[in-house]
Structure 1
Amino acid sequence: MSPRYNNVIVFGPTGDIGGLVALEANRRGAKVWLAMRDITKAIGAIPAEVEKSGNFTRIQADLSDPVSTSKAISQSGAKSAYLYLVYTPDFARATLQAMRDAGVEHVVFLSSYTIGIGGLALRDISPKDSIPYAHAQVEINIEEIGFPYFTALRPGWFASNFFRAWFDDQATPPKALIVAEESVLDNITPEDIALVGGAVLVEGPSDGKETIYLYGPERLTIKDSWDIIKKVTGRDIDTSLVTPERFTELLSAKHVPNPIIEYVLASFENTKTEYLVQEYQRDVGNVEKYSGRKPTKFADYIAAHKAEWVA
Structure 2
Amino acid sequence: MAQESYSNLLVFGASGTVGGLVALAAHERGAKIWLAMRDTSKAIKAIPNDVEKAGNFVRIQADLTDPTSVANAVAHSGAKAAFIYLVLAASDHQRASLKALRDGGVENIVFLSSLGVKVEGAALRAIPPSKLMWFRNAQVEIAIEDLAFPHFTALRPASFASNYINAGLDRSSTPPKATIIFEDAQADNIAPEDIAGVGAVVLLTPPTAGKTTLYLSNTAAETRTAKDSWALIKQITGRADIDTTPTSPEAWVQKVVAQGMPEAFPRFYLGVLDDSKRGLVGPEYEAGAANIRKYLGREPMGFVEYLEKHKVEWQNI
- 1:222 is matched with which residue: 222, 226, 236? 226
Secondary structure of 2:130's aligned partner: coil
* Corresponding residue of 1:301: 306
> Stretches of 4+ moved more than 6 A in 1?
117-120
Q: Distance in 2 between matches of 1:205 and 1:185?
A: 28
Q: Is the 8 A contact 2:81 2:107 kept in 1?
A: yes
Secondary structure of 1:284's aligned partner: helix
Q: Distance in 2 between matches of 1:180 and 1:186?
A: 15
Secondary structure of 2:275's aligned partner: coil
Q: Deviations over 1:207-262 (max 9, x none)?
A: 42110011123111111101101111222222222111222244446665533322
* Corresponding residue of 2:95: 93
Q: Deviations over 1:108-165 (max 9, x none)?
A: 0000111117998111111011110000000000000111110000000111111122
* Corresponding residue of 1:213: 215
Q: Distance in 2 between matches of 1:268 and 1:254?
A: 20
What's the CA shift for 1:12?
1.4
* Corresponding residue of 2:52: 51
Q: Is the 8 A contact 1:165 1:251 kept in 2?
A: no
- Comparing 51-60 with 81-90, greater Cα deviation is found at 51-60
Q: Is the 8 A contact 1:25 1:198 kept in 2?
A: yes
- 1:259 is matched with which residue: 253, 260, 264? 264
Cα distance 1:172–1:57, how it changes in 2: closer, same or farther (>3 A)? closer
* Corresponding residue of 2:285: 280
Cα distance 1:274–1:38, how it changes in 2: closer, same or farther (>3 A)? closer
Cα distance 1:78–1:140, how it changes in 2: closer, same or farther (>3 A)? same
TM-score by length of 1: 0.93
Secondary structure of 1:41's aligned partner: coil
* Corresponding residue of 2:151: 149
* Corresponding residue of 2:180: 178
Cα distance 1:17–1:253, how it changes in 2: closer, same or farther (>3 A)? farther
What's the CA shift for 1:93?
0.3
TM-score by length of 2: 0.92
Q: Distance in 1 between matches of 2:279 and 2:252?
A: 27
Cα distance 1:223–1:72, how it changes in 2: closer, same or farther (>3 A)? same
Q: Is the 8 A contact 2:156 2:213 kept in 1?
A: yes
Q: Distance in 1 between matches of 2:301 and 2:258?
A: 30
RMSD: 2.1
Q: Distance in 2 between matches of 1:282 and 1:12?
A: 26
Cα distance 1:38–1:80, how it changes in 2: closer, same or farther (>3 A)? same
Gaps of 5+ in 2: none
- Comparing 175-184 with 142-151, greater Cα deviation is found at 175-184
What's the CA shift for 1:22?
0.5
Gaps of 5+ in 1: none
* Corresponding residue of 2:235: 231
Q: Distance in 1 between matches of 2:102 and 2:196?
A: 23
- Comparing 260-269 with 231-240, greater Cα deviation is found at 231-240
What's the CA shift for 1:56?
1.1
Cα distance 1:258–1:190, how it changes in 2: closer, same or farther (>3 A)? farther
* Corresponding residue of 2:249: 244
* Corresponding residue of 1:103: 105
* Corresponding residue of 2:13: 12
Q: Distance in 1 between matches of 2:289 and 2:298?
A: 13
What's the CA shift for 1:277?
3.8
